Every structure is written in C-alpha cells, then in structure tokens.
Amino acid sequence: MNDAADTADAIDTGPRKKSYRAIWRWHFYMGLLIAPVLSVLAITGALYLYDSEIERAWYGELMNVEPGERRAPIADQESAVRRAFPGARLASVVLPHDRTHVAAWAVVDPRGARRAVLVDPWTARVTGSIPEHRRLMHVISDLHGELLLGRPGDWFVELTASGALIMTLTGLWLWWPARWRVRGVLVPRLGATGRAFWRDLHAIPSALLAVGIVFLVLSGLPWSGFWGEQLAKLGTLSEATRPTPNFSAAPTLDSLGTVETAAGVDPHAQHRDRDDTAALPWAVRESGRAPPQATRTGAARIALQDVMRIAERRGLTRIGPRLRVFYPEGERDVYTLSLIPDRAQDQRTLYVDPYSGRVLQDIGWRDYSPLGRAVEWGVMAHMGRQFGEPNRLLALAICVGLLVAVFAGIVMWWRRRPSGRMGVPDARDHALPRSMIVAMIALAALFPLAGAALLAFVVVDRIVVARERRGNIAKRHADRTLPNG
C-alpha cells in the first residue's frame, strides 16, 4: 500500500465508513480544546520525574555537598537556620536524599513568606536559601497541577486530563485498522511524505501508549480539585472506599489523658495556611479526620533531636529518603512525621506529642483501605518511583509519546484546514455509532468537567452545522439567480 492511502485502512468501505467522520469530528473538537494544556502537562510531568536531579544541576553548590565522616547533629543544623533567619518560624525539614544532598528547612518570615533554607548536613553550614514560590520544582509542580492560575487552573488541568480519556477512546477507534500490518499500524512510516508521515506520528504513539496514558490520567486525578474531592467523599459510603479505615473523626487526648472526639474539627487545621498538606499521603490528607492534639499545654516542648530519635526507633530513617518533619504551630498542635519513599507500601505518617514525646498515631500501609492503597500505589507509579528506574523510563516514554502525538496532530490540522477557517471535519450524513455514544455518556457521567465540555461541543456543533446549512442554501440560491452565459 502506498503512502497516499494513509487512512484507507482506517476508513474502509464497511459500516465504519459511515461513523468515521463523526468520530473524527468529536476527536477534533476535544483535541483543539486540550492540546495546548496536554502539551504542558507532558513537559512538566517529564521534568518532575527527575525533580531531584534537575534541581541539583540547576542550583549547583547550593544543593550539592561533599560527604564527611559523620553528620552534624540535627540540633546544630537547626541552630544554624535560626541564626541565619532569627525572625522566622521553622515550619519543616526534609532530610537529605543521599550523602551528597543538603537538608531543606522551610521557614516562614513574619510576613508569612516561605523560604527554603539549605543546610550541609555534615558541617551544619547554611549553603543558601530560595523563596519557596520561586523554587524551580515548586514552579514546575504548580504549572503541572494548576497552570500557575490557582483553582481555575486546577479545573482546566482536570478537564484536560479527563478530556484525554475521550481523546484516547475516539483516537483508538480512528486508528483501529481494517487490515493489520506492521508499517503504518504498529510502526510509523518515517520514510513517508506528506499526510502519511504526520498521521503515523500522531496515531501510532497514541495507540501504543493508550494504556499508559489512561493510567497516568486516572492515577493523577485523585489530586485534582473537583474530581479528587468527590473521590474522597466516597469514604463516607463504605469501609472499602475510605482512604483509611478510621475515616471518621479521630480521637484525641485532653489534658487529663482521657479520650475525647474531634468531631467538627477541621481535618486540616494543623496545616492551615501552609503548603504542607500536599506533602502528606492522599490516604492521610483526605482521611476526613483531624490530626491528634497535644496532651497538655504550657510545658516545655521536646527538641527536634528527640523527635528524630523517635523516628529512628520507629524505623523511619532506615527505609530511604523523603522523610519530612513538620513543627507544631499552636499549643495543641503536634509534630508530624511524613515518610513518602519510592514504594507506596513503605509510607508512614507519625503524630508525636510535642510535650511528652508520645507517638499518638502511627499510620501506614496496613491502615489504608483498598481505595487508599490503590490511590497511593497509583500516585507513586505515576511519579515513576514505585518500580524504580524502569517505571521512570516508561513514564518518560509516555510523556514524550504524548508530545510527539500532539505536535503531529497540530501539524496535520494546520496543513489540512482551509485558509481562514477552523477546518472542522465534515460529518454530514455521518453519525456516531451507538456504542460510542454510550461510552461517551459514561465518561461524561464519571468525569463531569469533560461532560460539560462535551455538552458545550454539542451546542457549538449545532451552531456550526446551522451556519454551514444556511451558507449552502444561500450559495444554491445565488447560483440559481445568476444570469446564464
């Protein structure tokens, strides 16, 4: 088969021909809406897979240190941070990822601005500091999660992610060949010219990576604003859907040591006005329960070095990097230790009483519900960590494949569209097959933002079709009224 017949296998002469242009039209609408943001998500997602490596290369000596024989006591590092920023409040510390990495201390100045203070763990020397909102991976993370636009950006990212499911569904239908072969179906015809070349670069990577694309979308959506919140609300329905089995309000200890309920307490009260809730596992963050409170107030707090001894006894320092310790803010707040290593099964969250040093709660994989485990496992695989380097390379391949497919699709549209027009595929006398209608309705019900976009497309499509019909009627009328010869 020659390259000029690049879509012959897809369209063929059977019943599919009557549906091809209708499905292509919906694929086109959704692609036109989400392609720019999907490209941003693919680029920032690929960068975030190598967050530590990129930041260490970007910041150089600020983040890279020479390992010594013995680490400086955590108290010395803490004192160095306090001396460097005497008016600031210490919010948290992230332990080094390896022997050549700095410890990152988060401080909050009197105006509420957050700053990352980097400390050499071997010498307790402050190597530098970075405003948190300008830290490279913080910017990339915000761009990936909300396009630097806050809540509206989060909604559009969610719309893009759920719209990608519709794009994948319709794209697979368009790609599915009438006659299977290697070149042009499973392997792009890189030696082809014109539309065949761009069609292969658009369709084949998308089709081969379809399962991975769907997985990345579904594993990322729990962290979205609208859909993620609705998923967390499933925790009120059954034990299996609760992020953790103790989804309802947690017990706390009053000053006499008796148990009291925390019903009505804001589950994120300890982390209000901070960027720290995102550093907790989803199963803990969305558990619907308030963090436990301190058993008494007014006494002297235990030092951070005592908290680290507790972490060591509990095994949190043996598993690997990414242990973060949050300081208590108010008198009733507690120390929070969050360990999110590469494997979801090794996650731990500890709440430590700042006065007695008692571990009030120790939450781990064993405490997660089936839903909580599925989400946490999916998140770590989404970030390319759950299965080590092969996991990261596969996630990178999906991001690169998405970029190639989006770019090729844009080139195809630009080359095909008539000058000065959108180039919407003509679908007159073509209808969606009933199975596709049912599938799209199901996706719209499961992902309301994508459903709203589909509804908007229906309205737009009706307007476009009506204008085309009026234009055709006017043209025929003009043709009839023109004088002959």
Give per-residue pLDDT as tens, 7-56. 444 444 455 677 888 899 889 999 999 999 999 999 999 999 999 999 99
> Averaged over 82-110, what is the pLDDT?
94
The answer to whether residues 21 and 430 touch, using CB atoms and an 8 Å cutoff, is yes
Is 344's pLDDT higher than 60?
yes
pLDDT score for 153: 94
Q: Which residue spans of the chain are classified as CATH 3.30.505?
A: 51-143
pLDDT at 292: 87
Average pLDDT over residues 163-173: 94
Which pLDDT score is estimated for 291? 81
Mean pLDDT, rounded, for 142-151: 94
Instruction: Extract the tokens encoding 360.
Output: 């009030």
Tell me: domain 51-143, CATH 3.40.50, correct? no
Contacts of 447 (CB under 8 A, 6+ apart): 162, 165, 221, 227
Share of the chain above pLDDT 90, in %: 59
**φ/ψ (deg, to 5) at 352:** -115, 130
pLDDT bin (cut points 50, 70, 90) of residue 248 is very low
What's the pLDDT score for residue 481?
Answer: 65
pLDDT > 70: what percent of the chain?
Answer: 82
Average pLDDT value for residue range 417-433: 79
Give every CB contact of residue 10 below 8 A, 6+ residues apart in sequence: 16, 20, 174, 175, 176, 177, 178
In sequence order, which residues have a C-beta less than 8 Å from that of residue 109 and are 6 or more positions away? 85, 87, 88, 115
Q: Identify the pLDDT of residue 7.
A: 47
User: What rounded mean pLDDT belongs to the chain?
Assistant: 84
pLDDT in tens, 472-482: 666 666 666 65
Please tell me the predicted confidence (pLDDT) of residue 141.
Answer: 94
Higher pLDDT, residue 470 or 445? 445
pLDDT at 266 over 50: no
H helix and E strand count, the chain:
15, 10
Q: 249-254: list long-range contacts, CB under 8 Å, 24+ apart.
A: 249/288, 249/289, 249/290, 250/289, 250/290, 250/291, 250/292, 250/361, 251/292, 252/290, 252/292, 252/293, 252/360, 253/292, 253/293, 253/295, 253/360, 254/295
- Give residue 75's pLDDT: 96
The predicted-structure confidence for 444-458, as pLDDT tens digits, reads as follows: 999 999 999 989 888
In this prediction, residue 278 carries a pLDDT of 65
